[in-house]
Amino acid sequence: MIHFVGAGPGAKDLITVRGLKLLKEADIIIYAGSLVNPRLLEDAKEGCRIFNSAHMTLEEVLEVMEEGERSGRMTVRLHTGDPCLYGAVREQMDILDAKGIVYDSCPGVSSFCGAAAALNLEYTLPGISQSVVITRMEGRTPVPEKESIASFAEHGATMVLFLSAGLLAELTEQLLRGGYQEDTPAAVVYKATWPEEKSWLCTVGTLVETARRHGVDRTALIIVGDAAAQSGYERSRLYDPEFTTGYREGNGTGKEPCAGCRKGLCEERLHKDECIRGKC
């Protein structure tokens, strides 16, 4: 059996309980050495064979897995963050499928969650943005044309950019072309949750300078959008004393406001009186 396991963003104790259990039981561990914290390997059992996939091709990785299967061993394929993002897992799984080798996946804490934690950031602030665009600049891996940074930037939503810290001049140009402003809040988070973690709040216009000043050109995430400023948001409906939820009786009308009320466009505001649905 092969287990694809998310190692988490860096800190040794940010792997899941399930992931750690699998790691401790593994006969073979193939870890993505460029970003997985090697301290996680301290938990491998005596005699476990450990491979660093940074030095291996897809074929070599598969060879180790196949050999493990033949000898009845359990393999953990350890990927950084969560394997579902830029993990190159599908190509491994397709070959395993073709060979009839069974595998499963154990999720991990992605670095975009680690980066939010580094800044105590909420990506989805009411009234600011309710969406997070996870994307990257084109590198050796092409990005489909319809997924250009500029087209995503048009939404003004929160954006988290992977694999792009070395391409900040081009990134800035595309963000501005898409509609973000020079003063749109942004952040650079280097090695989130690692002991050497560093993070800087800046703006779209100062992204290049911020990364250059601190010598960051890899292992970083770029966060863009008004949510990075963490201000100017609306308070949540869920915890508003006026509103009734499935778990709590509110002291207001108990009705959800219409879109007009929410934007403060109605003459009769829900908070004062009653929302005149449809007339707003």
Rule CB under 6 A: choose which of 163, 211, 216, 227 binds ligand SAH.
163
Whole-angstrom distance, CA of residue 20 vs CA of residue 68 = 20
For position 12 contacting ligand SAH by CB under 6 A, the verdict is: no
For position 8 contacting ligand SAH by CB under 6 A, the verdict is: no
Whole-number Cα distances in Å, 256 to 156, 233, 266: 26, 18, 14
Give the binding range for ligand SAH (CB under 6 A) out of 89-97, 111-119, 175-183, 200-208.
111-119
Closest distance between ligand SAH and the C-beta of residue 78, in Å? 11
Rule CB under 6 A: choose which of 30, 40, 77, 80 binds ligand SAH.
80
For position 64 contacting ligand SAH by CB under 6 A, the verdict is: no
Rule CB under 6 A: choose which of 3, 4, 5, 10 binds ligand SAH.
10
Closest distance between ligand SAH and the C-beta of residue 198, in Å? 10
Three-class secondary structure of residue 20 per DSSP: helix
Q: Counting beta carbons within 10 angstroms of the beta carbon of residue 148, is it exposed (0 to 12), middle (13 to 18) or buried (19 or more)?
A: middle
Number of residues that bind ligand SAH (CB under 6 A): 24
- Mark residues 208-247: x for contact with ligand SAH by CB under 6 A, - for none: -----------xxx--------------------------
For position 77 contacting ligand SAH by CB under 6 A, the verdict is: no
Enter the tokens of residue 139.
């590198």
CA-angle at 74, arms to 71 and 79, nearest 5°: 130
For position 92 contacting ligand SAH by CB under 6 A, the verdict is: no
Closest distance between ligand SAH and the C-beta of residue 84, in Å? 7
For position 53 contacting ligand SAH by CB under 6 A, the verdict is: no
Whole-angstrom distance, CA of residue 5 vs CA of residue 104 = 9
For position 82 contacting ligand SAH by CB under 6 A, the verdict is: yes
Neighbours of 33 (CB within 10 A): 17
- The end-to-end CA distance of the chain, in Å, is 59
Closest distance between ligand SAH and the C-beta of residue 21, in Å? 20
Whole-angstrom distance, CA of residue 72 vs CA of residue 84 = 27
Closest distance between ligand SAH and the C-beta of residue 6, in Å? 7
CA-angle at 204, arms to 201 and 205, nearest 5°: 105
Packed helices 58-70 and 90-99: angle between N→C axes, nearest 10 degrees: 40
- Mark residues 175-194: x for contact with ligand SAH by CB under 6 A, - for none: --------------x-xxxx
For position 200 contacting ligand SAH by CB under 6 A, the verdict is: no
For position 81 contacting ligand SAH by CB under 6 A, the verdict is: yes
Whole-angstrom distance, CA of residue 248 vs CA of residue 194 = 40
Phi/psi of residue 46, nearest 5 degrees: -55, 130
